[in-house]
Structures are given as structure tokens and as C-alpha cells.
């Protein structure tokens, strides 16, 4: 228990530091790095060979994913987006019909567009799973350890993927270079990311 408390304390401290680092990135710099990462994604072999892809809809302090979503539709791939259940750590990935549709979706208290809870949509794991998941986060290290926002949505979802799919989806984190840390403290429920994309790679 003492070890878990120490890890949680270290995570809390790192979250505070990461939020500070993210606040310091100007809008132009955010856009510049987002464009660069969009190019990296589109050139990435895993992206090119994947058909069923999950992408997060960006919050203000995250890499902007709108252009990636447009590209998914242009290439005739299938796009899924997160639908978070608040006051729980449950999330599913539901089908998006078009890139334009995003802006007509209702906004949550976190200011993220997402389909309503009661709206019936194709859910990725019940219709064949996912090939690739783009993962957000507050901080990452080069070994693929991820610091989330503390709710456990993605860790729980990735565990579900392992149970429901024959093959685990490939996971790529999209990060500002400012989000790369020396070492992210991890607990036993934290899932590793296959690859962290950022400006220096």
C-alpha cells in the first residue's frame, strides 16, 4: 500500500508540472506541433494499414486531431471517437459518420464534443474491434509509459480490448515535445503505449 501511495503522490506532482508546461505553450506553437504530428501520422505505416481507427477529439491542451480525422474519412477508413461515462471510468468508442459531424455533437462539461449517452451508435468492440488507437495524456516517457488525467478511462478501455479482440490494437500517443518526461511513475493498472509520437522523432 505504501508503494501505491508513493506512486499516486508522484503522479499528482507530475500532473501539476505537466499542466503548467502545457499552459505555457502558445496557440501558434500548439498548431505548429499539431501540423507536424498530423504529417507524421499520415506517413506512418501503422496508420496506412489500419482500417478501424479510434481518435480522441482534442481538448485545448492536446494535440489537435481534426486534420487526422478528415484524412481518415478521405481514405475511406472507419473512425471511432471516445464517449466517456462521467462519474465512472467507463468509456466506449463509437462510430463517427463524418468529420463535419463533430461540431454538431453536444459538448460535455469538459468542453469535449461527444454523442449523447442514449444515442445508439456502432460501438467498436462489438463490431470487430480496432486496429489503431490514438491516445491522449498529460505526460509520456520514451518507454511508452503514460500519465493520464487520473480517471483511468484509457487504461480500462485497453484492458477491454485485450479481452474482446484477438489482437490488441496498436496504440500511438500524440504528444507535444513539452509532454515528454524522463520517467513516468506507473502502477499495476497502467497500460503501456506502443509508440509515442512527438516532434523529435
Please name each of the domains of the chain with its CATH number: 2-197 (3.40.50.10420)
Residue 6 CB coordination number (10 Å): 11
Which residue ranges are tagged as binding site for ATP?
11-15, 146-154
Please report which confidence band the pLDDT of residue 43 belongs to, taking 50, 70 and 90 as the band edges: very high
All residues at 6 or more sequence positions from 157 whose CB lies less than 8 Å from its CB, including other chains: 82, 91, 92, 93
pLDDT tens track for 100-111: 999 899 998 888
Which residue ranges are tagged as binding site?
11-15, 57, 62, 146-154
Q: What is the pLDDT of residue 26?
A: 96
Q: What is the pLDDT of residue 124?
A: 97
Q: What is the pLDDT of residue 1?
A: 67
pLDDT tens track for 120-173: 999 999 999 999 999 999 999 999 999 999 899 999 999 999 998 988 999 999
How many angstroms separate the CA atoms of 10 and 61, rounded? 21
Model confidence, pTM: 0.95
How many angstroms separate the CA atoms of 133 and 169, rounded? 7
Task: Compute CA distances 22 → 18, 19, 57, 179, whole Å.
Answer: 6, 5, 17, 8
How many angstroms separate the CA atoms of 23 and 26, rounded? 8
Contact (Cβ atoms closer than 8 angstroms) between residue 139 and residue 173: no
Which residue ranges are tagged as binding site for substrate?
57, 62
Amino acid at each position: 500500500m505504501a508503494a501505491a501511495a508513493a506512486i499516486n503522490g508522484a503522479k499528482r506532482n507530475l500532473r501539476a508540472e505537466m499542466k503548467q508546461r502545457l499552459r505555457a505553450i502558445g496557440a501558434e506553437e500548439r498548431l505548429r506541433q499539431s501540423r507536424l504530428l498530423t504529417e507524421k501520422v499520415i506517413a506512418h505505416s501503422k496508420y496506412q494499414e489500419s482500417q478501424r481507427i479510434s481518435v480522441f477529439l482534442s481538448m485545448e491542451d492536446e494535440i489537435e486531431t481534426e486534420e487526422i480525422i478528415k484524412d481518415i474519412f478521405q481514405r475511406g477508413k472507419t473512425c471511432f471517437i471516445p464517449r466517456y461515462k462521467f462519474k465512472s471510468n467507463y468509456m466506449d468508442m463509437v462510430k463517427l459518420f463524418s468529420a463535419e459531424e463533430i461540431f454538431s455533437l453536444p459538448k460535455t462539461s469538459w468542453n469535449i464534443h461527444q454523442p449523447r449517452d442514449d444515442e445508439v451508435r456502432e460501438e467498436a468492440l462489438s463490431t470487430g474491434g480496432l486496429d489503431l488507437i490514438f491516445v491522449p495524456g498529460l505526460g509520456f516517457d520514451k518507454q511508452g509509459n503514460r500519465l493520464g488525467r487520473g480517471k483511468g478511462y484509457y487504461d480500462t478501455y485497453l484492458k477491454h480490448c485485450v479481452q474482446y479482440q484477438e489482437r490488441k490494437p496498436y496504440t500511438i500517443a500524440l504528444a507535444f515535445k513539452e509532454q515528454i518526461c524522463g520517467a513516468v511513475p506507473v502502477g499495476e493498472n497502467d497500460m503501456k503505449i506502443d509508440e509515442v509520437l512527438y516532434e523529435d522523432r
